[in-house]
Chains A and B, each alone.
Chain A
Amino acid sequence: MLHTVNKSPFGHSALDECISMAADGATILLIEDGVYAAKAGASYEGKLKAAMGNVKVAALGPDLAARGITACIEGVTVVDYDGFVELVAENKMTAWV
């Protein structure tokens, strides 16, 4: 399963809920304001790294760039829209809108 999260983890519970329900081996793709979760050095880093023991985490590059995020948490894969499409082709999707 591919999960997308488009809300910041600092103001919304979407990513917390997503992480609690993502199966082992699932991929969480952070898009739009969701990419703030991937910012290195922020307070969500510990939670995201813990989640990465079970799930893969990716972030949409154009959304990172648009928000001036240049340093991602180690282990987060950066994808473009083509990569987003590939993830959808490989998996069913749940959007945590």
Chain B
Amino acid sequence: MLLTILVHEGPYNHQASDTAYNFIKAALGKGHEINRIFFYHDGVNNGYNSADPPQDDRNIYKRWSELGKGGIDIVCCIAAAKRRGLKDELLMEGIRISGLGQLADAVLGSDRLVTFG
């Protein structure tokens, strides 16, 4: 099954990023495909490369980056990113900035939209 993942909240402040990640790992493990991960609202804060979380905790940014480098398309909404100071030079590798059309396109082309917020 082809899934689109929508994340509405930023990392650490809410559990949404963690739940989304755990869900995606399980979905991939069961043979499902991720069409696109789309970060919206404060969700775009998941894309920053400048954060430095404590070593003894999970690194949410790196986890996303690894999924992106592994071939999953990960998009931060450009309008939401601009509001929050996120730009290309501040993006983790494997994550890109693009428009809301990328969400529409993904939702329409997927079997399921799975939202975390």
Residues of A within 8 A of B (CB): 4, 6, 31-33, 60, 62, 80-82, 84-86, 88-89, 92-93, 95, 97
B26 contacts the other chain (CB 8 A)? yes
Contact status A81-B3, CB under 8 Å: no
Please, how many residues of chain B have a CB less than 8 angstroms from a CB on the other chain? 20
Q: List 22 A-B contacts (CB under 8 A).
A: A4-B115, A6-B16, A6-B117, A32-B16, A60-B19, A62-B22, A80-B26, A81-B26, A84-B23, A85-B27, A85-B30, A86-B30, A88-B23, A88-B112, A88-B114, A89-B112, A93-B114, A95-B114, A95-B116, A97-B8, A97-B116, A97-B117
Whole-angstrom distance between the Cβ of A38 and the nearest chain B Cβ: 16
Complex CA gap A93/B27 in Å reads: 15
Contact status A81-B8, CB under 8 Å: no
Residues from chain A with Cβ under 8 Å of B8 in the complex: 97
Whole-angstrom distance between the Cβ of B7 and the nearest chain A Cβ: 10
Contact status B113-A89, CB under 8 Å: no
The answer to whether residues A85 and B23 also contact, given A6-B117, A97-B8 and a CB cut-off of 8 A, is yes
Among A31, A84, A85, A86, residue most surrounded by chain B Cβ atoms (within 10 Å): A85
